[in-house]
């Protein structure tokens, strides 16, 4: 602790390269789970598919057993925002589901989430997912050009606020975080603009950037399982997340095969592999 603030863990290049290995395993596992998210499958089926990829790679899950969490992924369907527990729920045509997972390689963590539209999507759900994903990339781009961690949330907020059409809500109770030798570490990464600038961005900083947006009000509640977070108005939600490293040459998205190039280059940022 320094002046009452949790200490931030700054990684070496070698440690960040190992985090990228974990991120590549995670990316493949999410690819498999996303492909399996079709009408008629259960959320437990998705957990099984994800687990098979992680286990076959010789990696470990950082979700399973975390404070007692019983699965390798969170599956949050429709009005469920985050931390949904896989089980017997059968996906139906028109559902929207956020799949959030993580992997560990040699003690170093990765964390990433994607939203999937099941079957025939509702156009407003598609817009919700698209805006959430784009907001995440704007936040990541701000990490490359900004000076303080608070610049990430400001960029996310500015993008969401300027999107044409019906306003979408940015959850404030659940935020991104530092990541490295543990899954959740300092600093918090807010998804909205505040007067607090946060710590300085410098090489060795690794963050999980994860905006969560809703079609209605941002008020949430936790279900009786003590995990699943839902919107109190029953409106639908979306979550997108990537783990990102800052190094002396630039940034690299640890949980993306191309380091984020496909989405960052159009925003004026060219990700650089970790030296």
pLDDT value, residue 4 = 55
20 is in an annotated binding site: no
For residue 3, pLDDT over 80 is answered with no
For residue 210, pLDDT over 90 is answered with yes
Question: Containing H/E element for 154?
Answer: helix 150-162
109 is in an annotated binding site: no
∠ Cα 224 124 80 (to 5°)? 10
Residue 164: cis peptide before it, omega within 30 degrees of 0:
no
pLDDT in tens, 72-123: 999 999 999 999 999 999 999 999 999 999 999 999 999 999 999 999 999 9
Q: What is the pTM of this model?
A: 0.97
80 is in an annotated binding site: no
241 is in an annotated binding site: yes
Cα–Cα distance, 213 to 225 (Å, whole number): 22
182 is in an annotated binding site: no
pLDDT value, residue 2 = 42
Cα–Cα distance, 10 to 7 (Å, whole number): 9
233 is in an annotated binding site: no
Query: Domain segments of the chain: what residues?
Result: 13-267
Residues, the chain: 275
Find, among 72, 96, 68, 103, the residue nearest to 86 by Cα. 72
pLDDT value, residue 79 = 98
For residue 270, pLDDT over 70 is answered with yes
Find, among 129, 152, 133, the residue nearest to 215 by Cα. 129
∠ Cα 231 239 124 (to 5°)? 70
Provide CATH code, domain 13-267. 3.90.230.10
């Amino acid at each position: 602790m320094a002046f009452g603030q949790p200490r931030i863990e700054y990684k070496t290049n070698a440690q960040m390269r190992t985090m990228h290995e974990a991120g590549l395993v995670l990316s493949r596992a999410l690819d498999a789970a996303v492909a399996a998210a079709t009408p008629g499958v259960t959320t437990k089926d998705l957990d099984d598919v994800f687990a098979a990829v992680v286990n076959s790679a010789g990696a470990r899950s950082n979700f399973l057993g975390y404070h007692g969490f019983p699965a390798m992924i969170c599956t949050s369907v429709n009005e469920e925002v985050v931390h949904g527990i896989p089980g017997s729920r059968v996906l139906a045509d028109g559902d929207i589901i956020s799949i959030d997972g993580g992997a560990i390689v040699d003690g170093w963590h990765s964390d990433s989430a994607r939203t999937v539209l099941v079957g025939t999507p509702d156009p407003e759900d598609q817009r919700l997912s698209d805006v959430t994903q784009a907001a995440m990339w704007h936040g990541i781009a701000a990490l490359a050009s900004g000076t303080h961690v608070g610049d990430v949330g400001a960029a996310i907020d500015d993008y969401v606020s300027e999107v044409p059409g019906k306003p979408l809500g940015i959850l404030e109770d659940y935020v991104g975080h530092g990541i490295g030798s543990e899954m959740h570490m300092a600093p918090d990464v807010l998804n909205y603009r505040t007067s607090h600038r946060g710590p300085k961005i410098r090489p060795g900083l690794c963050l999980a950037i994860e905006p969560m947006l809703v079609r209605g009000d941002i008020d949430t509640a936790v279900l009786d399982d003590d995990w699943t977070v839902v919107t109190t108005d029953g409106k639908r939600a979306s979550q997108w997340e990537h783990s990102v490293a800052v190094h002396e040459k630039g940034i690299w998205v640890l949980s993306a095969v191309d380091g984020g190039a496909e989405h960052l280059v159009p925003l004026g940022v060219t990700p650089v592999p970790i030296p």
